[in-house]
Structures are given as structure tokens and as C-alpha cells.
Amino acid sequence: MALELYLDLFSQPCRSVYIFAKKNNISFDFKKLSLLDGQQYGEDFGKISLIRKVPALRDGDFCLAESIAIMLYLAEKFKTPDFWYPADLQQRARVNEYLSWQHTAIRMHGSEIFCLRPVGAGVDVFEGRPKLSAWRDRVQEAIGKELFDEAHQYILGAQESVKSMDSSKMQVFKPKILRLFM
């Protein structure tokens, strides 16, 4: 059985797993889930992720959730280059330190864009945000523009997707997202 990754590319943790696997030429079956459609609550997915969260991995009979755990598993199983997850104990500790910090210090603020930025056709999330634009440029340079665009096509096209989406779906998530920032 091939390695399976259950992902919704609207989710930043899912995009990080997707980019990591693609950048390291790790072969996987992409199992697309829609969080907005509640597909994570389906009976079949509950067998993959008991906590019903994406990203999720299935490698034969072994299932794993949480983006950081998945990337560490992939790094070790597929023996990715040392700069991803160094063998040196102290360098690895620095990577672990960052991974522990980023999850609450950086990642959660990415959702603000859906609640605090006007949504509509033609809105460029990078416009007027030089630090965000510089981040995009650094990531594109590091992983390649093609992979960046592939992984982010859903989220960068979200303005149009959200505009055409049943507004009740977004209303379910908006209070949860806003609660994180209060």
C-alpha cells in the first residue's frame, strides 16, 4: 500500500506537509479532504485520524496526525537531507525548538486574513504587506515558484472560492478563528 496523505490545502499545516513531501520527492497518494464540507467527520476518515484533523498520514497499517509529527516521520523514514532535520543533537534541538514555537506564535495568525481582510475579486493578500511579500519571495526561492504556486493555488484563489461559497460554511469557522485572537 502506498503512503497516503490526507490534506486540505486551505490548511497551512497541510500545505507544509505537502510541500515537504513534494520537495523531498516522497511519493504519496494525495487524499483531498474538505474541512469546510466537514469531510473530516466521515466514518472512514475517523479510522485514519481519531482526532479527525488534517493533515493525516497512513503508511500501511500505521496512521499519524499532526503536521509536525508527520514531517518528522517522513524525514526519518525517507532519510531526507540533514538540513531538514539534522542528526546533530544540538542542531536538531534548535529545529525542535522552532517547531514547538511556530505552531502557536506564527501559524494561528494566518487565519486572520479570512476574518480581518475584505474578501472579494481582485484582492491581493500581499498588497501593502512588504513583510508578507518578502516571506513569499523567500519561500518561492527556497522551494521553487512552481511548487509554491501548486501548494498555494487553493489559498491564493480563496478570494474567489469564498465569494462563491455558501456563506453558512464560513460562518461556522469565523467565531472559532476570532476566538483565537481575543
- How many domains is the chain partitioned into structurally? 2
Same domain, 111 and 71: no
pLDDT tens-place string over residues 60-95: 999 999 999 999 999 999 999 999 999 999 999 999
| Apex 166 CA angle, 161 and 168, nearest 5 | 125
- 134 CA to centre of own chain: 19
**For the chain, first and last CA: distance in Å?**
44
CATH of the domain at 77: 3.40.30.10
**102: pLDDT confidence band, cut at 50, 70 and 90?**
confident
Same domain, 60 and 116: no
Q: Would you say residue 96 lies in a domain?
A: no
Same domain, 69 and 110: no
The pLDDT, as a whole number, for residue 108 is: 67
Enclosing H/E stretch for 153 = helix 145-156
**68 and 96 in contact (C-beta within 8 Å)?**
no
The pLDDT, as a whole number, for residue 38 is: 92
Percentage helix, strand, coil, to 5, in the chain?
Answer: 60, 10, 35
pLDDT tens-place string over residues 131-178: 989 989 999 999 999 999 999 888 777 655 555 555 565 565 555 545
For residue 68, give the nearest of 82, 47, 84, 88 by alpha carbon.
84
Same domain, 133 and 79: no
State the residue range of the domain holding 58.
1-84
Domain boundary among 50, 84, 118: 84
Same domain, 178 and 126: yes
The pLDDT, as a whole number, for residue 182 is: 46
Q: Would you say residue 19 lies in a domain?
A: yes
Same domain, 80 and 139: no
> Any idea how long the chain is?
182
Same domain, 58 and 129: no
pLDDT tens-place string over residues 112-123: 655 555 545 656
Same domain, 70 and 117: no
Structure-block grid coordinates of residue 93: 534541538
Same domain, 110 and 159: yes
The pLDDT, as a whole number, for residue 181 is: 44
Q: For the whole model, what pTM was predicted?
A: 0.81
Cα separations in angstroms, 165 against 9, 70, 125: 16, 30, 19
Domain boundary among 19, 50, 84: 84
**126: pLDDT confidence band, cut at 50, 70 and 90?**
confident
- 124 CA to centre of own chain: 20
Count the neighbouring beta carbons within 10 Å of the beta carbon of residue 151: 23
- Angstrom distance (rounded) from CA 39 to CA 43: 9
Number of H helices, E strands in the chain: 9, 4
Same domain, 110 and 177: yes
